[in-house]
Structure 1
């Protein structure tokens, strides 16, 4: 069924004249007449009768009108849902319990009228997320291309915020009673981070972290999800993992897991935001400005080498590079 024919029928029924409907739709009266005639043939009914003053609905037309209105409304909503600038701001996060999602949720709670669509691209390679930004499938992505020089010219990457790491352990772990920990205290302890994906930004992060502090990062085994990881920590006396301070984890009370901040230096996982250089979604600026209101990272802090270049390229790291065609 031709939705424009249905739209022509609805406007003609509401206005009572084909010419008025044609004027509103930006077509000729003949075009409206043809559309309605085609619709009548498809439905095998007459929808209008002509009068001296215009057109009037037949009984079949009256029965069809409310359904036709629903069709037109549904089409309009569908178009709005996918049109950049008119649809909700669509941002890709690494996970719905990740620090990025938590920060976006805090932003939305402070501005509940914000039209925000938080999605998760099930990909590990940040180049796939870049392609989705280029295609307009998403408006922005919390991903990092660690070699910023390889970014396409039509996308921009800025530093969003840093996520300080914590050690997550079960109650029988040797470090479970610590209030804070330093990186040297983590040496020789097994830190299990299953499913580190090759070519991902976090693979490079853990490579550099291991080298910098001589840590024992164990990536063995597939990632069966947070629940399996938390089960293992609760039952183990020697396994720990690293989590972001803002990451949301939920476990049964009897697990008695402990999240222990790492200090001197703070281990910082840098989060970047990728979005189009030209015509970014109008709702994006307020999100980027929100990053500047986040609690500053405890210093001193360690960051991977690629984070320094990203922070330098967008000024002071608070999103000030937004809209600047010279920053990357």
Structure 2
């Protein structure tokens, strides 16, 4: 029996099988949970077999679903190959995940575009490196920024390069007792304590701040998520005399109520790396690496006597033994 399978339905099934969760699958595709559930049911109707066991909080593949998954992936791969075969021979845009549009990685992308404003670049913002690595392996993006360390889960087919050591600053409301200082020390933070917004799942930044707090004996408080810049300012006021760690490359000029003070004794630095697949490197990846190398004196400045990185980062990157390669 011949079936005219709808590729959108097949992809919805494959993504749900990979996520084992309808909501996460819907977010990955960019549709609603109701829409992806309807797509899967339409596919099951066409095939005449249930593909998932649906529980109140989870889903599992049925025997039929397990048998269908491999061929379904082959169908999608064949469709991609067929489309590529007839596309005009122009380079596809550099698809890069910058974590968030306010953070340090965007500075490197901007430098690339300032060099050649006509370059085709598509940005995504998955909020953490661990969220972008599966997309990198699937070929949905060409590279991703994030904190690379021994426990980052970098796949063996990927490689990375350190591109930025971003100083960490302390964010305070303008009425804070220490807001008139020109810098704060770790000893100051032991007196005030620190806080940070938490978004329901651990990120590389969350882990970094936790390690910072543990290393220097800082009291750490987690708030709910900051839903907007205005909401962040409200949370800053609510947390009284505590300081919020932030990246020095981020602009806080949207609010006159925020004081951004450098941290010293020691100066924490957050390591940003660019990650890509060894065998499928987009030509523009090399150009970004070149820009980072040219700016290394400023972007990778590190003094072992005054700067701090968590142990896993030091061990992997060799920052305290010389300039990273």
Measured against the shorter chain, the TM-score band is 0.5 to 0.7
Q: Given that residues 268 and 301 in structure 1 are in contact (C-alpha distance below 8 angstroms), is that contact kept between their aligned partners in structure 2? A: yes
**1:285-313 CA deviation, whole Å, 9 max, x = no partner?**
11012122151436321001221233239
Contact kept, 8 Å, 2:164 with 2:273, in 1: the verdict is yes
Structure-1 separation of matches of 2:135 and 2:274: 13
What does residue 290 of structure 2 align with? 289
Deviation, 1:143, is 2.3
Deviation string 1:245-289 (CA, Å, 9 cap, x unpaired) is 111234244x3x211111221111111221101130011111012
Per-residue deviation, 1:196? 5.4
Q: How has the CA–CA distance of structure 1 residues 206 and 138 changed in structure 2, closer, same or farther, with 3 Å as cutoff?
A: same
Distance of 1:146 and 1:213 partners within structure 2: 20
Aligned to 1:121: 126
1:311·1:317 contact (CA, 8 Å) conserved in 2? Answer: no
Per the normalisation by structure 1, the TM-score is 0.64
2:206 to 181, 203, 206: 203
- Please list the CA deviations of residues 40-90 of structure 1 after superposition, one character each: whole Å capped at 9, or x if unmatched: xxxxxxxxxxxxxxxxxxxxxxxxxxxxxxxxxxx99x957xx9x811111
Matches within 5 A, 1:9-158: 79=87, 86-122=91-127, 124=128, 126-147=129-150, 150-158=153-161
Residue aligning to 1:219: 222
Structure 1, gaps ≥5 residues long:
1-74, 321-328
How many matched pairs?
A: 236
Q: Does 2:249 correspond to 1:246?
A: yes
- 8 A Cα contact 2:150 2:316, kept in partner: no
Aligned to 2:194: 191
Would the alpha carbon gap of residues 235 and 131 (structure 1) be closer, same or farther in structure 2, given more than 3 Å must change? closer
1:163 is displaced (CA, Å) by: 0.9
**Counterparts in 2 of 1:107 and 1:90: CA distance versus 1, 3 Å:** same
Higher alpha-carbon Rg: 1
1:99 shift after superposition:
1.1
Match of 1:26 in 2: none
TM-score, structure 2 as length reference: 0.64
Deviates more, 1:96-105 or 1:109-118: 109-118
CA distance in 2 between partners of 1:317 and 1:185 (Å)? 30
